[in-house]
Amino acid sequence: MNKRIYFALLLMGFTSLIVQTLLIREFLITFYGNELTIGLILANWIMLEALGSTLASRPSLKIKRNSLTYALLQAGISVYLPLGIFLIRIIKNMLGLTVGEGVGVLPVIFSSLFILAPLSLFDGAQFPFGCRMLSDRQKEGSLESAGRVYILEAIGFIFAGPLFTFLLITRFNSFSIAFLLGLVNLVSAALLLKDTLADVLTRRFSIIISALLILAVFMLFGPASKLQDISVKKEWRNQEVLSYQNSIYGNLAVTKSDHQYTFYSDGIPIITTPMPDTAYIESLVHFSLLSHPNPKRVLLVSGGAGGLINEILKYPVERIDYAELEPLIIKLINEFPTELTRAELCDPRLAIKYIDGRRYVRLAASLARDVRYDVVILNLPMPSTLQLNRFYTNEFFQNTRAILNEDGIFAFSLPGSLSYINPEMRKLNSSILNTLEDMFSVNVIPGEPNIYLSSTGKFKISPDIFLKRIEENKIKTKLLNRPYLEDRMKPYWRDWFKSSLSGYKAMRKNLDLMPSGTFYSIAYWNALFSKGLRGLFIILDKLHFGILAAILIFIGLSLSILMTAIPKLKRYSTGFAIFTTGFMGMSFDLIVIYAYQSIFGYVFSHIALLVTAFMAGLTLGSSFLNRRISSIKDDLGWFSKIELMIVGYCALAGPLVLYINQNPSLKFSFLFFILSGCAGCLVGAEFPLANKIYRKGRAYSETGGLLYGLDLFGAWLACLVVSIAFVPVLGILKTCIILAILKMISLSLVVLNSRRRV
């Protein structure tokens, strides 16, 4: 029986990670999500999971059929997961939104809260019932039960990450994954009930679970594909879906409307053929290449197929290097070709580099004598995600400067307007312009969008210069004639733009480890679709490190005074420490992944391995303490030492990340796995010890559920504030200091508690 329980508890963590990852991907496709969307969804999941764990703590003590209850929770997850996927895909229809229409924060919050609720509550409730189920099979009041459940859940996470990333998501559709996961959970549920079939109620529910098991097998080998097709058609209504595939980098879809193909990446349209966005493409390409007297070698970073390459090829260039991370995009373009894309991709002057553009530029910068370009064109959306922001930072601009020839041109675009620049758009453009001018001389052609042209030296642009070079190269365009150029490049617009951005030198610069561009992009997006939240972003923009640190120190002193005055409150110091450790753990989970992305390039498989390193460390730390917990006499002393180690970790992690960022050699990449593993180890070590300290006569299923809920609550809060406020506004280094201060507060309260016991 113990083996079946261990399998069920392993499956708890395994299922939780796969369900979270699967549903977050589905939400991202539906809501064109960025880190804000991910943070909101994950925060909702964690909050509901904590609620489920807390609500189930006391019932787990009273309900005698704990194995039956746990099995029913597994069955509930199995039944609801396919329904949850279907609801996510039709939620925009339910909200009355069309394909391509933006969504604000509030619809994301409430729709994800509604859809995730059953799954999250069931998942959270499994923990206290798992503690009770395991402790009932061992000695009464065993100190190791809650810690062992924590360890088994973490091991399940470790197995789930690589399996989902490298196997499930690349070979199965979402419904097939859901039914396969449901099948495994139902098998586990049936095994748990096997030894208690003499009970009438258990026997009745075992019949239901067996029926569901047969249904899951049937759905997996047939109707799952039909459900996939039906839900995709509803998600992309009024369009013919030609392809819908997942890769380790994201979701790619191809739709057809009349004779027009549209290629989507995670729900965002990235390429349209055979009639592309002519105004945007011609402006970006020709303003860039016409700014150079004789462009021969061009680097195009992302988004080249479908028009941009075709426009570049109109010039007598010798070579175009095209950096594209996702090979599946090019494969799909070749599967649904047009004359335009066929001509682009078959031209002998084009060399496609299947590599992250940031990483390619960094590698090229290290070989700058051998790899130099006349023009570098960045064709990416505004830095609305941490991933995109990597291409708009001081560090990226520095590497780009290194690969340009003496009179080389670097070009990109940002949101703009010739009528009104709202405060959010102004801040976004100001931050990037202030950053760019550290490396380049800059000319901006205002419009929709703003075209940024920069060079290592002074350079002139004018309608006459552009028209002369168009004639010399015999360039044919649909848009760039004399009236258009003279209107777009009027001195009036340039002066108006400078006036609109007056004071831009005072704006925060955009750095790898302080992504202000992401913050201002999110603020701009929400000003369009969630105007009611503009005040929140204004407040967050004013977040000041010194003031925040002072507030935390004041709270710490107040709590210390309060606990000294009321000794009964000291026993809650352990729960507060677990809350702050949950906050710290999730914070470093986000910080390490983001810093790794920024420094070494976005490689999804490596991110999965970073998460695995965190969970492996958590398992190691929890297992180490759990084995020794019975022999530990000075439990608060041990707990204080772990708290002190966490403070030290927070204080040292920031400078280490900063050092690696300043010396971005691949030989240092292993340090991020160590950082992630150490964070997990410290988080895991506290949990079983906290259970021992906090129990004082309580059953372990109750204390386990309550402390697990506090741990999740801390992680929930971190999801909301770290990636959206702390890291973009304060930066990683100052965020680490804030975390160190927070843990110093919890350490001081634990020390107060230990003195009371002495």
Distance CA 91, CA 360 (A): 38
Q: Which fold has domain 543-758?
A: Growth Hormone; Chain: A; (1.20.1250)
Does pLDDT of 664 surpass 50?
yes
Amino acid at the residue 657? V
For 697, the token pair is 């006569």
236-250, 567-581, 674-688: least confidently modelled range:
236-250
Q: Going by C-beta distance under 8 Å and a sequence separation of 6 or more, which residues neighbour residue 247?
A: 169, 170, 326, 328
* Percent of the chain at pLDDT exceeding 70: 91
Taking the mean position of all CA atoms in its chain, how far away is CA 713? 19
Distance CA 416, CA 78 (A): 47
Inter-CA distances, 250 with 247, 473, 522, Å: 5, 40, 21
For 44, the token pair is 């909702």
- Tell me, what's the pLDDT at 697? 45
Q: What is the rounded average pLDDT for all residues in the chain? A: 85
- Tell me, what's the pLDDT at 139? 54
Map out the domains of the chain as residue ranges: 1-235, 278-515, 543-758
> Residue 269's beta-bridge partner residues?
264
Choice between 350 and 663, residue whose per-residue pLDDT is larger: 350
Amino acid at the residue 749? L
Same fold, 278-515 and 543-758: no
Distance CA 162, CA 63 (A): 36
DSSP string, 476-523: --SS--HHHHHHHT-HHHHHHHHHHTTTGGGSPP-BTTB-HHHHHHHH
Distance CA 516, CA 204 (A): 58
Strands of the sheet with 250-257, listed across from one edge: 240-247, 250-257, 260-265, 268-273
- Tell me, what's the pLDDT at 700? 47
Distance CA 673, CA 610 (A): 6
Q: Quick one: average pLDDT of 54-75?
A: 85
Whether 311 and 282 have beta carbons less than 8 Å apart is answered as yes
Does pLDDT of 705 surpass 70?
no
Q: Which CATH architecture has domain 278-515?
A: 3-Layer(aba) Sandwich (3.40)
Q: What's the pLDDT tens digit per position in 707-726?
A: 777 888 888 888 888 877 89
Q: Return the closest-CA partner of residue 8 out of 147, 168, 139, 193.
A: 193
- The 10 Å Cβ neighbour count of residue 476 is 8
303-307, 451-455, 477-481: least confidently modelled range:
303-307
Q: Quick one: average pLDDT of 12-23?
A: 89
pTM beyond 0.85, yes or no: no
28-37, 189-198, 232-241, 317-326: least confidently modelled range:
28-37
Distance CA 42, CA 676 (A): 19
Q: What's the pLDDT tens digit per position in 351-366?
A: 999 888 888 898 888 7
For 536, the token pair is 């929140």
Mean pLDDT is highest, among 28-42, 121-135, 281-295, 317-331, for 281-295
**Extended strands (E) in 511-611:** none
Does pLDDT of 270 surpass 90?
no
Q: Quick one: average pLDDT of 613-631?
A: 81
In degrees and rounded to multiples of 5, residue 293 shows phi and psi of -65, -30
Q: Quick one: average pLDDT of 250-262?
A: 84
For 631, the token pair is 């022999």
Q: What's the pLDDT tens digit per position in 390-434?
A: 899 999 999 999 999 988 999 999 999 988 899 999 999 999 999
Q: Encode burial over 330-369: b for 16+ CB neighbours within 10 A, e otherwise.
A: bebbeeebbebbeebbeeeebebbeebbbbbbbbbbeeee
Distance CA 89, CA 31 (A): 10
Q: What's the pLDDT tens digit per position in 384-395?
A: 877 788 899 999
pLDDT band at 645 (very low <50, low <70, confident <90, very high): very high
Does pLDDT of 27 surpass 50?
yes
- Tell me, what's the pLDDT at 435? 97
Does pLDDT of 679 surpass 70?
yes
pLDDT band at 44 (very low <50, low <70, confident <90, very high): confident
Distance CA 681, CA 704 (A): 18
**Extended strands (E) in 544-676:** none
Does pLDDT of 152 surpass 90?
no
- Tell me, what's the pLDDT at 140? 45
Domain 1-235, CATH: 1.20.1250
Name the DSSP class of 286: H
> Residue 442's beta-bridge partner residues?
454
Q: Encode burial over 59-72: b for 16+ CB neighbours within 10 A, e otherwise.
A: bbbeeeebbbbbbb
